[in-house]
Chains A and B, each alone.
Chain A
């Protein structure tokens, strides 16, 4: 399974007046694509800090002591703020706990919703054009090198082919976007029609004039050769009937005149939506170059005909050429890669030298970087981000090294000074008013190892790439490349206008369950209730179509029905868009609903991680037991097992297991030594000494075994 996000040994602490609060202490987890990871724990266990670190929005007094967060090959803890701008909100979005603090109180909801869409739309359009042009140009260059091999006639032919591709691709898109407009209009009209007809039948139509007018407009818009064609006249006639009677019907409340027409429209559109769409890619080619009108035949046959025409005249040849171009480019890159590996291995010892000079180092980095970038295969669609960011990452670790070396000297001086003062006072037999703060010396060797690690990692990475060479499927890659070009071209054509953004925003508002979205669109955040505000925040987060969604207790302040709706909504988006979700909450019912995997956090550490079934039916850590039994469910009658005491003060984290003080199963070793992660099964592990082979056998609390039995019983009953 594809790994979307990897968190390795993340350690975060906060500077405060009282000392260093160790909020997160070395946590590890992976996140697969399309999966939901729930992080559970009490407040102060570090779950929010983890999510904020992923999004790069930690408070100013936070120190990241170590670790890596790898997304898309990049380490999010090391990239610059500018690079983060492209990821935050667009690729990784977050739903916050308190909706009021994440909405701007003086800007209308509508603008806040559409702002990101419009900005993103513009940026995407620009980026798409750039990527399309540059990729096509690169492909052309490589094809010329690979196929023509210096033959000018052949080269000119290839150039013409690329230009043709460019030309008919745009024709394809304009055809397809026309079709999409009509098709979407039909779908939307059907979507709107259903509740309207229902409300009319119940004699409770609200906002009737506007909605009916909109349906009419949409119905007319859906008239298109491949959407509503045969029934065109019937549709137009029915729409005209409705249009003529709207004012009368709304005023008098007598809808008898328009209901049959509305039903007719619904029927026609429903049939239209079931039709298959023609192959516009092929049609674009035919219409640009065939110089003949489109043959009249049913859509399925037409598709076959067009496909064949395209393949015969252009595509097969183009794909063959493109494949050669790709292979050529890859070959060149592989030789360069081998060279880069050789160079890096030889020159690695430069950084191992005893006395490093900063200027020399920086110069060396530039040379290193040049070698590495030459090894990049530019034709790859998925960018090799490790290679691309190699230079900056190495530079950063070098800077850190030199900064630390200067700081250490200063720190030592300060310590010596203070110590002398202190000792002098003690010698005079006075009580010093302050204590000597011990010098915090950074480990230079560790930092140097960090630098070398960057180089070693790249070498390993390149070596792995070269190994993979034999197993590459160039045919599939060529098809993927052409699909990529198609996608980028569609990004250029699909413009986001203000009106479109508004329609989309209103649709989103409707989807998240805001009644009367058109009216609400022009209101300010303070006019909404808590639940409604939370829905707006969710709509904003989803508007940008993110890759990873972090939900920080999104439903804690909402009541069950709305909570349930919002969870369903997030689940639906997750399924539709292959969204990866990190869900932070302390409500175990919600976790059971949402999570594929669950991580239980306590005092900045993950104490148990496993699939939802592992954690709920076979929990191993006493803290998980305590959490599970402290919450009443519908059948609980006995006294609740509250967890005694409060979480530990993280300025002075406990030496042993952090939960030991509140744990009735705690053993002596729990107070002395931190337990490692014990693996229970492939997917399930927990950090508690109880799992050690020498530990005494402890049974789960009775309330949990009882509950599991009850759950089993209820499931059996429902299953029957």
Chain B
């Protein structure tokens, strides 16, 4: 991608646990990555590895259990589990310390220390909850202050009264717009199953316009124009607006889903397996459409899929997930040229290619975490082996991988 380092979305130690009976399933466990503006970030892994959950947690269909999600520098999702754990650990530690000492003064001092730590963490929890619930407000304030700064400076400089009036009018409009800006509408999602994600009792127009209506657009003409514009953008025609989803073919339905997601003019789209349920020829149509839109609007896309050839074709960078953990992250060319983690290798060895002679020779590599890694002493973590190439490994493996890359 072009040389821009503006991080649009930052996912920091994200955890998403689900309670199943008395157990907790760690669907996403300590996942961190950045998505730069204008890039397509692919997320691959087998089913059940948590790639869809990651996407859904980013858009806050689930509340994260732990870790933070930053979008445009504003915290939009924040879990409290790390802070709760910190409190628990501190309490256990100090309890032991207090029991061990017999000196009363010392005890009081330790208690005070404990209280300070607990209060600090509690404050963080409070902040996290506030941020999560008020990210729109925080963001609009930020925009408002930016607009104010910009226009006040302009107004102060301007001397021509006519232009000044014009500028003031502009300023007012901009301010109004800024106040009503919502951060949450700037991430949109395209779902996997185009049949299940469209309400069968709504016309296409209603479906596409729903977001606009919810966000307070009342002018019917504006809505209509916008819907038509979107329909034409995704390769459908105006006449389709009055029809119901069941009257469309699979590919057309997915186009409606795309139209629905781009009508809010988002900066980022989370595409959750948008082509998995489609025929090959239609897959190509939808991928081409997404590619076009991406270049037209400078969209950033988080592309979740299990078809590796499509991900390779479409993404700039790819993250590989295995059982809730990110195991490897790098640019797509690098990933396919130099896969380091054994799971990535096994995944790449499983891709069927339309080449019978090659397929007859292809050997699948099986991945058995027990056999591959020895994590009893040396614990693994997510490290940067080469610039921009992250692998989950421990010290010994880190050195091994670096040597491999050097060769």
Known contacts being A558-B47, A639-B288, A643-B284, is A633 close to B354, with CB within 8 Å?
A: yes
**A202-B371, A560-B306, A560-B347 given as contacts; is B280 within 8 A of A631 (CB)?**
yes
0/1 interface trace, chain B 275-305, chain A, CB 8 Å (1 if under) = 0100111111101100100000000000000
Q: Which of B281, B288, B307, B362 contacts A560 (CB 8 A)?
A: B307
Residues 594-615 of A at the B interface (beta carbon under 8 Å): 595, 612-613
Tell whether A616 pairs with B354 under 8 Å between CB atoms, given A558-B47, A592-B359.
yes
CB within 8 Å of A: which of B335-351? 336, 346-347, 349-351
The bracket for how many chain A residues form the interface is 35 or more
Whether B350 pairs with A564 at a CB distance below 8 angstroms is: yes
Residues of B with C-beta under 8 A to A617? 356
Within 8 Å of chain A (Cβ to Cβ): is B376?
A: yes
Whether the Cβ atoms of B46 and A631 lie closer than 8 Å is no
Tell whether A335 is near chain B: CB-to-CB under 8 Å.
Answer: no
One of B47, B310, B336, B361 near A632 (C-beta < 8 A): B310
A493 interface residue per 8 A CB criterion: no
Nearest B residue to A714 via CB reads B358
Closest residue of chain B to A629 (Cβ to Cβ) is: B284
In the docked arrangement, what's the CA distance between A677 and B164, Å? Answer: 78
A593 proximity list for chain B (CB < 8 A) = 352, 356, 359, 362
Q: Is the Cβ of B281 less than 8 Å from the Cβ of A589?
A: no
Of B279, B310, B350, which contacts A563 at CB under 8 A?
B350
User: Bound state CA distance, A195 and B349, in angstroms?
Assistant: 23
Mark A543-558 against chain B: 1 for CB-CB distance below 8 A, else 0. 0000000000000011
Task: Identify which of A587, A634, A707, A718 contacts B336 (C-beta below 8 A).
Answer: A634
Partner of B354 from A42, A199, A558, A592 at Cβ < 8 Å: A592
Chain A hits for B358, CB < 8 A: 592, 711, 714-715, 718
Residues of A within 8 A of B364 (CB): 564-565, 568
Determine if B250 is an interface residue (Cβ-Cβ < 8 Å): yes
Query: Which of A202, A632, A715 is the most central at the interface, judged by chain B CB atoms within 10 Å of its CB?
Result: A632
Q: Which residues of B contact A367 (CB under 8 A)?
A: none
Query: Within the complex, which residue of B250, B284, B350 is in contact with A642, where a contact is CB–CB below 8 Å?
Result: B284
Q: Which of B282, B312, B351 has a CB less than 8 Å from the CB of A589?
A: B351
A586-B356 contact in complex given A632-B287, A718-B361, C-beta closer than 8 Å: no
- Residue interface mask A181-206, B partner, CB < 8 A = 1: 00000000000000000110011100
- A591 at interface (Cβ–Cβ under 8 A)? yes
Contacts of A637 in B (CB 8 A): 313
**With an 8 A cutoff between CB atoms, is B308 at the interface?**
yes
Structural contact, B281 and A626, CB atoms closer than 8 A: yes
Tier of interface size on chain B: 35 or more
B352 & A567 in contact (Cβ 8 Å cutoff): yes
A709 → chain B closest CB, angstroms: 12
Flag whether A530 is at the interface (Cβ < 8 A): yes
> Which B residues are CB-close (under 8 A) to A642?
281-282, 284-285, 288
**Do the beta carbons of B46 and A561 come within 8 Å of each other?**
yes
Other-chain residue from A198, A565, A636 in contact with B371 (beta carbon distance below 8 A): A198
Query: Residues of B contacting A627 with CB < 8 Å?
Result: 280-281
Q: Are B280 and A589 in contact (CB under 8 A)?
A: no
> Which secondary structure dominates chain A's binding surface?
helix
Task: Let me know if A632 and B313 touch, CB within 8 A.
Answer: yes
Give a binary string over A307-331; 1 marks a CB under 8 Å from any B CB, 0 the rest: 0000000000000000000000000
Which of B45, B280, B285, B351 lies in contact with A634, CB distance below 8 A? B351
Query: Across the interface, do A711 and B355 meet the contact criterion of CB distance under 8 Å?
Result: yes
Q: Does B197 contact A (CB under 8 A)?
A: no
Say yes or no: is A646 at the interface (Cβ < 8 Å to chain B): yes
Question: Within 8 Å of chain A (Cβ to Cβ): is B370?
Answer: yes
Whether B134 sits at the interface, judged by CB under 8 Å, is no
Asked if B47 contacts A562 (CB within 8 A), the reply is: yes
CB-contacts of A623-667 with B (<8 A)? 626-628, 630-634, 636-637, 639-643, 646
With A and B bound together, what is the CA distance between A434 and B69 in angstroms? 64
- A640 and B309 within 8 A (CB): no
Task: Identify which of B307, B350, B354 gathers the most chain A CB atoms within 10 Å of its CB.
Answer: B354
Which residue of B is nearest A204, CB measured? B370
Known: A631-B309, A639-B291. A592 touches B351 (CB 8 A): no
Does A559 sit at the interface, judged by CB under 8 A? Answer: yes
State whether A592 and B336 are in contact (beta carbons under 8 Å apart), knowing that A634-B309, A643-B284 are contacts in the complex: no
Q: Is B105 an interface residue (CB 8 A)?
A: no
Q: List B contacts of A711 (CB < 8 A).
A: 353, 355, 357-358
Instruction: Give chain A residues whose Cβ lies under 8 Å from the Cβ of B310.
Output: 632
Query: Which of B287, B312, B355 has most chain A Cβ within 10 Å?
Result: B355
The proximity string for B residues 390-406 relative to A, scoring 1 for CB distances below 8 Å and 0 otherwise, is 00000000000000000
Q: Mark A685-720, 1 if CB is under 8 A from B, else 0.
A: 000000000000000000000010001001100100
Cβ distance B275 to chain A, nearest Cβ, rounded Å: 10
Contact (Cβ within 8 A) B336 A591: no
- Closest 5 interchain pairs by CB? A589-B352, A632-B313, A559-B306, A564-B350, A642-B284
6 A-B residue pairings within 8 Å (CB atoms): A529-B48, A560-B306, A561-B350, A588-B354, A589-B351, A634-B308
B contact set with A: CB distance below 8 Å = 45-48, 249-251, 276, 279-285, 287-288, 291, 306-310, 312-314, 336, 346-347, 349-359, 361-362, 364, 367, 370-371, 376
Give 18 A-B pairs besides A634-B308, A642-B284, A711-B358 with Cβ atoms closer than 8 angstroms: A42-B279, A530-B47, A559-B306, A560-B46, A560-B347, A562-B46, A564-B364, A586-B279, A588-B354, A617-B356, A627-B281, A630-B283, A630-B284, A632-B287, A632-B313, A636-B309, A642-B282, A642-B288
